[in-house]
Amino acid sequence: MSTDANAPWLVVGLGNPGPEYAMNRHNVGFMVADLLAERTGGRFKRAGKAQAQVVEGRMGPPGPLSRRVVLVKPMSFMNLSGGPVNALRDFYKVPTAHVVAVHDELDIDYGTLRLKLGGGDNGHNGLKSITKAMGPEYHRVRFGIGRPPGRMPVADFVLKDFSSTERKELDFFVDRAADAVESLVLEGLERAQGAYNS
């Protein structure tokens, strides 16, 4: 990766704004971003003209190994995430390879993580919007939510809250996803994949 190692990272949790969406499967990216903000000791604030909330902070131990990060929750609704993300990438001068999107993934079992760089959007409207705005060469932390039961339409499934059974383990899985993001930013993709791709 020929990017400046000292360039900041933009970690984007994907979701929909508003309390009615807060516990939806589609909002797991927001949950991970909230936990990372808590870990960095920051609070989300409106980002100027961009339709997003941001926290600026650092990841890792104090000193030369720590990394500057900007945590982002787009407030534009999932399907329009690309505009705010691209605006913030430009504003903070973040190389595309230092952008990390944390999102729900239907084709992976619940709670399973997969990290990768680039690739398609697999029908995910948030990724589709980001890729359209800045190309596909950004990192993804894919949080498995599994497939809908029976004939339930995908759109209904992702906009439903996690089930009571799923919620029992949700905090653990969100915590693990936040660890995976930190590992990716601090140690690189290969080491993070080795530790968290299950």
Asked if 108 and 147 touch (Cβ cutoff 8 Å), the reply is no
Q: Is 26 annotated in the active site?
A: yes
The 8-class DSSP code of residue 80 comes to: G
Q: Which two tokens stand for residue 163?
A: 């089930």
CA gap 130, 84 in Å, rounded: 9
Phi-psi region of 98 (alpha: psi -120 to 50; beta: other; left: phi over 0): alpha
Asked if 79 and 102 touch (Cβ cutoff 8 Å), the reply is no
CA gap 167, 171 in Å, rounded: 7
Q: Catalytic one among 26, 103, 124, 139?
A: 26
CA gap 28, 103 in Å, rounded: 6
CA gap 39, 106 in Å, rounded: 27
Give the catalytic positions in this structure.
26
